[in-house]
């Protein structure tokens, strides 16, 4: 049983409703198709669970869902909140576009609201600093550049923040900063619909095939920090459907991304800031295409797992656990870790 998000490597949380599966506070399940997901509380993405852990949990989830008093339903999709606080999302038999619109509308909508709150709080704190400086008699112009830079970071995020830690076959474990997304490009692949030229801390590398899709599915969502509104999400779903589904969309976007994601200018650092976020690399993709690309990559990964490549899913879960452990260790000084190891040994 795994307890770490496949995409952001953060803990998925716990629940007291399922003794056989205490992972996650929000579970989504499809009793007809036998699918079970754990929704990450941090990045909002749906983590498909390994096959052997699904059926008993799905049966229990169906029973709890039917008995729940706090329940909201449509013809095909329902949401229930259990007394212990666990949330259940029950999937009926919607058409694929309806399911995609609901699933990603919920995911992107929650992400959008959370980021707006975070940015709003940061800008509010920045405003308090400006007011405090004015009261103290400090001219705003004397540190105006710093205020502008802090405001930009509050909205866009720190360019130096590591947004993804990825295990790769050719370069081992690599760390991707937010600014590296603007230096990462997509092109048509020789061993699959798309290839990725990934920029990361200390270098760059070219990836093909299934590994390119896996890497893209990890980094592309970080260009969609603010999710999307209902109209943008509907357009993204329609775009995928018009091209015959996720696979057709990936073929198309790889063709156009060779131009739209091309790095058009060198990065210019200015007093700790960065510019050009919306012009180059993955940020060069139109917003609707970025949303659709995230959807398509996610669904293609699930399709491969559900069609028999479950070993790939198991491997992804193991890697997520391993990377989570590495990330945790990076936050703990070696002297403290040594003491912890000694106490454990005792």
Report the residue count for the chain.
346
**pLDDT at residue 226 in the model:** 80
Angle (CA) 339-342-346 rounded to 5° is 140
The overall longest dimension of the chain from CA atoms, in Å, is: 68
Angle (CA) 225-286-214 rounded to 5° is 60
Q: What does the alpha-carbon distance between residue 343 and residue 186 come to, in Å, rounded to a whole number?
A: 48
Q: What does the alpha-carbon distance between residue 215 and residue 171 come to, in Å, rounded to a whole number?
A: 13
**pLDDT at residue 174 in the model:** 94
**How does 309-341 read in b/e, with b if 16+ C-beta sit within 10 Å?**
eeeebeebbebbeebbeebeeeeeeeeeeeeee
Beta bridge partners of 4: 11
Question: How do residues 190-223 score in pLDDT, each as one tens digit?
Answer: 988 999 999 999 999 999 998 999 999 999 999 9
Q: Does the pLDDT of residue 255 top 60, yes or no? A: yes
Q: Does the pLDDT of residue 336 top 60, yes or no? A: no
Q: Which of 75-79, 105-109, 182-186, 271-275 has the lowest mean pLDDT?
A: 271-275
C-beta atoms surrounding 150 within 10 Å: 18
Asked if 179 contacts 269 with a C-beta cutoff of 8 angstroms, the reply is: no
CA-based nearest residue to 104, from 32, 24, 44, 163: 44
Question: How do residues 138-153 score in pLDDT, each as one tens digit?
Answer: 444 544 544 445 445 5
**pLDDT at residue 299 in the model:** 87
Give the residue with greater pLDDT, 136 vs 127.
127
**pLDDT at residue 217 in the model:** 92
Report DSSP state, residue 280: S
**pLDDT at residue 75 in the model:** 64
Q: What is the dihedral of CA 72, 77, 82, 85, to 10 degrees?
A: -100
Asked if 102 contacts 235 with a C-beta cutoff of 8 angstroms, the reply is: no
Question: How do residues 268-324 score in pLDDT, each as one tens digit?
Answer: 443 344 444 457 899 999 999 999 999 999 888 887 776 655 566 666 767 777 777
User: Average pLDDT of 3-32?
Assistant: 90
**pLDDT at residue 331 in the model:** 41
**pLDDT at residue 268 in the model:** 46
Q: Which of 38-47, 108-117, 271-280 has the largest mean confidence?
A: 38-47
**pLDDT at residue 100 in the model:** 78
**pLDDT at residue 346 in the model:** 43
Q: What does the alpha-carbon distance between residue 123 and residue 14 come to, in Å, rounded to a whole number?
A: 33
> Residue 128's pLDDT band (boundaries 50, 70, 90)?
low
Beta bridge partners of 30: 35
**pLDDT at residue 120 in the model:** 57
Asked if 283 contacts 277 with a C-beta cutoff of 8 angstroms, the reply is: yes
**pLDDT at residue 329 in the model:** 47
Q: Does the pLDDT of residue 123 top 90, yes or no? A: no
Q: Does the pLDDT of residue 344 top 60, yes or no? A: no
Angle (CA) 15-21-27 rounded to 5° is 60
**How does 57-78 read in b/e, with b if 16+ C-beta sit within 10 Å?**
bbebbeebbeebeeeeeeeebb
Q: What does the alpha-carbon distance between residue 88 and residue 85 come to, in Å, rounded to a whole number?
A: 10
User: Average pLDDT of 61-90?
Assistant: 84
C-beta atoms surrounding 271 within 10 Å: 8
Asked if 108 contacts 83 with a C-beta cutoff of 8 angstroms, the reply is: no
Q: Does the pLDDT of residue 176 top 80, yes or no? A: yes
Indicate the pTM of the whole model. Answer: 0.69
**pLDDT at residue 2 in the model:** 79
Q: What does the alpha-carbon distance between residue 189 and residue 187 come to, in Å, rounded to a whole number?
A: 6
Asked if 218 contacts 165 with a C-beta cutoff of 8 angstroms, the reply is: no
Q: What does the alpha-carbon distance between residue 14 and residue 86 come to, in Å, rounded to a whole number?
A: 9
């Amino acid at each position: 049983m795994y307890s770490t998000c496949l995409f952001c490597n953060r803990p998925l949380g716990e629940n007291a409703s399922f003794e056989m599966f205490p992972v996650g506070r929000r579970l989504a399940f499809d009793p007809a198709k036998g699918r079970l997901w754990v929704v990450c509380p941090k990045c909002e993405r749906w983590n498909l669970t390994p096959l052997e852990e699904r059926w008993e949990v799905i049966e229990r989830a169906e029973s709890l869902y039917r008995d729940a008093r706090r329940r909201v339903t449509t013809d095909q999709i329902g949401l229930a909140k259990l007394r212990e606080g666990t949330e259940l999302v029950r999937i009926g038999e919607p058409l694929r576009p309806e399911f995609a619109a609901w699933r990603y509308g919920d995911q992107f909508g929650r992400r959008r609201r959370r980021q707006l709150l975070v940015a709003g709080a940061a800008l509010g704190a920045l405003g308090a600093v400006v007011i405090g400086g004015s009261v103290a008699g400090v001219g705003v112009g004397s540190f105006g550049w710093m205020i502008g830079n802090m405001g930009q970071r509050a909205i866009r995020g720190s360019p130096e923040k590591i947004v993804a830690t990825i295990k790769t076959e050719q370069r081992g474990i690599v760390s991707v900063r937010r600014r590296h997304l603007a230096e990462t490009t997509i092109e048509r692949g020789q061993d699959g619909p798309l290839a990725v030229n990934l920029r990361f801390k200390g270098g760059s590398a070219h990836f093909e095939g299934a590994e390119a899709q896996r890497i893209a599915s990890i980094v592309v969502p970080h260009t969609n920090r603010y999710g999307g509104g209902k109209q943008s999400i509907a357009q993204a779903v329609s775009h995928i459907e018009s091209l015959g589904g996720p696979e057709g969309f990936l073929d198309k976007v790889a063709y156009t991304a060779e131009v739209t994601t091309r790095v058009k200018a060198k990065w210019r650092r200015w007093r700790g800031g960065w510019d050009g976020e919306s012009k180059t690399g993955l940020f060069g993709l139109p917003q609707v295409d970025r949303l659709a690309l995230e959807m398509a990559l996610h669904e293609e990964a699930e399709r491969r797992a559900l069609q028999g490549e479950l070993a790939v899913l198991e491997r992804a879960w193991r890697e997520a656990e391993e990377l989570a452990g590495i990330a945790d260790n990076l936050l703990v000084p070696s002297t403290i870790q040594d003491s912890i190891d000694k106490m454990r040994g005792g």
